[in-house]
Structure 1
Amino acid sequence: MMLGSWVRLTLDTTLLGLEAQSVISLRLAQIAMGQGTPAEAQLMVTEKMLAFMDAAMTVAAGGSAHQVVQNYRRQVQANARRLRLA
């Protein structure tokens, strides 16, 4: 049972890394095409601070590393959807 949770955490962490790279690529492509905005640049900074605070609150409330990774994945996936539509 314990091994299963570690495998799931490993898989979700790997997927998070791949999804984050996708968002980075989308943002860099926008910047390269001259479509990057100051608002997007500000968002890149503030979302990381907010994500860290969310993670800290999750852990402080007794949450697991897997919950933190799942929350990060939701945020990264939302960014990817938004950037693809832009």
Structure 2
Amino acid sequence: MLKLFWEMSMLACESQQAIWLRGMKIAAGGAAAKREAELMVKEKVSAAQTAVLKAATGTGPVGIARGYRRKVQANVRRLSR
């Protein structure tokens, strides 16, 4: 249970970073903002599909949260450049 708490807490913190960075990029406008908004929607659909597949194949909540965290961390790294 502690692992799940840790993963979900870290996911919440890292997600806030990604939301802030994406918001700043979209607020700047232009072609980059449009690409970011489109990428965001695609990523969310893909992440939801992946989570459903993981759950259907027996992956527990900790594994699913870790998968989401990997995606969020990659976005934070990309958006921080």
TM-score computed with the length of structure 2 as normaliser: 0.91
Give the counterpart of 1:25 among 20, 36, 53. Answer: 20
Task: Looking at secondary structure, tell me which structure has more helix per residue.
Answer: 2
Alignment coverage as a number of residue pairs: 80
> How far apart are 1:29 and its partner, in Å?
1.5
> How far apart are 1:37 and its partner, in Å?
2.1
Q: CA separation in 1, counterparts of 2:23 and 2:37?
A: 11
Give the counterpart of 2:36 among 19, 26, 40. Answer: 40
Q: Per-residue CA shift, 1:1-56, capped at 9, x if unaligned?
A: xxxxx011101101101100100000112233336421110111111110010000
Structure 2: runs of 5 or more not aligned: none
Note the aligned Cα RMSD (angstroms): 1.2
Q: CA separation in 2, counterparts of 1:22 and 1:69?
A: 16
Structure 1: runs of 5 or more not aligned: 1-5
Q: CA separation in 2, counterparts of 1:20 and 1:79?
A: 9
TM-score computed with the length of structure 1 as normaliser: 0.86
Q: CA separation in 2, counterparts of 1:52 and 1:34?
A: 27
Larger radius of gyration: 1
